[in-house]
Structure 1
Amino acid sequence: MRHFLTLKDYTKEEILEILELASKIKKETKNRVFKDYMPKHTLGMIFEKSSTRTRVSFETGIYQLGGIGLFLSSNDIQLGRGEPMSDTSRVVSSMVDMVMIRTFAQSKIEEFAKYSKVPVINGLTTEYHPVQLMADYLTIQEAGLDKDLIVSYIGDGNNLAHSWLMLASKLGFELRIATPKGYEVDENILNDALKFAKESGAKITIGNDPKEACKNATIITTDTWVSMGQEDEKEQRIKDFDGYIVDSKMMALGANNVKFLHCLPAYRGYEVSEDIIEGSQSLVFEEAENRLHAQKGVMVWLNNINKKDK
């Protein structure tokens, strides 16, 4: 059974194959052509963390593919009352065709997948956010920036930074990550990425100087400094991230054709300035829409590959 839990599990060829499928389906959708790639399929959507883009994109996506999405918050199912993840997995996966989970620890989604009878997609965990990176790279491809790509990630060494590490190390482009001291990426995830990078030819640089990381970059990207569950750290984090705002001065360090990405929600005046996110260098809202199309590619690919394996 193939799942989509982290890009660590995927080859370069598989990632590009999914993105090619996503691009094809997107073109059809833009022409108001909706093919039943997954007719009468049910996508169970388990949310232990709230969301805008993840819920709307998956629910709309499965509908456009000919199926239906079933929203399940932790308050709606027994998981929120202490039922073991293994039991929830066996029950839910016996009634639906695919499951998307947005939760906390990666170990929780790994356990769910272990007992699941159907493919499981990671809609976000504390460690990884692979569907976001599929949308990001689709956006980069559409902008014609996937050749000689240099990505500069500025900010917290969180699930987004970890997923950039996986994507870069698999596809073989240059990635520079700059975080404040004390907010570095997970060492084990970094080591995995460095191993993959030896095979792909990716160049990965980790440091604490955002200006150095942005020099001649073709993509500059960031994330919120205060993620869900970190609200009590807000004041301290704002102090610690001083100097890490992506503003016009930071963007000016990039290449002439540099573009800005952000997974949203964005907090203007903190990790990004108003003029950058709303300006001509921003691909943020194209990126947000591509969550819909990239995830349709993931769902259809998983459905097809698991059919072949039966």
Structure 2
Amino acid sequence: MSWFDLAGKDLISTKDWTKEELEIVLKVSDQLKGMYYAGLPHPALKDKTFLMLFFNTSTRTRLSFESAMTQLGGHAQFVAAADLRLSLEDKPGAGETIGDTAKVMARYAHGIGIRLLEDKVSRYGEDTEIMYRFAQHAEIPVVNMASNIWHPCQALTDLYTMREKLGTDLRGVKYTVMWAYSPWARSLGSVQEDLVIATRFGMDVTVAHPKGYELDPDVVALSKRYAQESGGKFEVTADLDDALKGATVVFPRGWMSLRRYEIGKEAEIKNAEKFRDWKYTRGRQKLAKPGYLMHVMPIDRGNEADVELCDDPGLSWMYDQAENRLHTQKAILALTMGGRL
């Protein structure tokens, strides 16, 4: 495998890339961040266009991808899915098919990003299937900008941030991913993608959640396999305080149950209220070692974590983590869209 081989490659999940390929992304992220802070131009994608197809709104995803393409010398075009004649139902009379839309997009641009999850689909997994269908028809790379199952750009960012803070060898570092109460009923994508990439790089990963918030069994199985292959650890528990003991890094995040589409959003939100005490508090942080706070944002301050932890400059990595979306996504775009530094 060479760096050249990444040109044209889709990124729907990090599981579809080799560890060597992921290491290349991390290396290029470091190079681009250095150039950013040195004030050196790096127009690796001059005159190229990245189409951003948004079914769901976002703050960091849109801003970071648009800034990334500008800094790489290209253009990011925002496309609201509601403005298209696209239909996700492949049947006569419904609208333009995914295949036709993807093929036309490939004639206009050099890469496609898709953000599709939560209320914009009717069942768990449908969004990810649609992304793979786009990738099947498009002759340019397709990047997952968040789905219910996976969020590869975020996971690469999180891994890059932990390596930046703790050193490149993360083997044996305890990373606790905890369900935390929030009425927002968000997707599982960022959590699940973090599990598979962290175990793949040898971290000791502990997932803590109350009954009813089990993760995708396929993701759990894959995380266990990666942990075995890398020499890391992976465990799931319902004992939050025990999960936090000795944790170097903590990610408190509310995620929807796998029954969300069956029971409906209102019932999902009501069920979560039974676990309001699942929160990353100052008292619980003292169980960790030291329990650096990572979060993909937006964070539900006061629910998912104590406000004082969010604003603790010695513990919170959230803003550095958010910035690193810019640098890792520049690397992803430059590599998959055939850029040259």
TM-score for both structures, normalised by structure 1: 0.92
For 1:77, which of 58, 76, 84 is the aligned residue?
84
Show structure 2 runs of 5+ residues with no match: 1-7, 88-93, 118-126, 181-186
Aligned pairs (5 A) from 1:8-157: 8-79=15-86, 82-104=95-117, 105-144=127-166, 146=168, 147=170, 148-155=172-179
Does structure 2 retain, via aligned residues, the 8 Å contact 1:160–1:223? no
Change (3 A) 1:214 1:112: same
Does structure 2 retain, via aligned residues, the 8 Å contact 1:58–1:292? yes
Change (3 A) 1:225 1:126: closer
**How far apart are the structure 1 equivalents of 2:45 and 2:305?**
39
Does structure 1 retain, via aligned residues, the 8 Å contact 2:188–2:255? no
Deviation of 1:83 (Å): 2.3
Q: Which residue of 1 aligns with 2:317?
A: 283
Deviation of 1:94 (Å): 1.8
Aligned pairs (5 A) from 1:102-251: 102-104=115-117, 105-144=127-166, 146=168, 147=170, 148-155=172-179, 158-225=188-255, 232-233=266-267, 235-251=269-285
Deviation of 1:145 (Å): 5.1
**How far apart are the structure 1 equivalents of 2:107 and 2:21?**
27
**How far apart are the structure 1 equivalents of 2:109 and 2:149?**
26
Q: Which residue of 1 aligns with 2:5?
A: none
SS at match of 1:79: coil
**Larger deviation: 194-203 or 122-131?**
194-203
CA deviation map 1:10-60 (0-9, x unaligned): 222221220110111011111221211111110000000100100000011
TM-score for both structures, normalised by structure 2: 0.84
Change (3 A) 1:145 1:237: farther
Q: Which residue of 1 aligns with 2:123?
A: none
Change (3 A) 1:179 1:140: same
RMSD: 2.2
Does structure 2 retain, via aligned residues, the 8 Å contact 1:226–1:233? no
**How far apart are the structure 2 equivalents of 1:206 and 1:82?**
43
Deviation of 1:188 (Å): 1.4
SS at match of 2:156: helix
**How far apart are the structure 2 equivalents of 1:44 and 1:106?**
18
Q: Do residues 261 (structure 1) and 268 (structure 2) align?
A: no
Q: Percent identity?
A: 27
**How far apart are the structure 2 equivalents of 1:110 and 1:17?**
23
Following TM superposition, where does structure 1 have runs of at least 4 consecutive aligned residues deviating by more than 6 angstroms? 226-230
CA deviation map 1:245-270 (0-9, x unaligned): 011112111114x3110111111111
Does structure 2 retain, via aligned residues, the 8 Å contact 1:214–1:250? yes
Paired letter, 1:14:
E
**How far apart are the structure 1 equivalents of 2:275 and 2:317?**
23
SS at match of 2:336: helix
Q: Do residues 272 (structure 1) and 279 (structure 2) align?
A: no
Q: Which residue of 2 aligns with 1:252?
A: 286
Show structure 1 runs of 5+ residues with no match: none
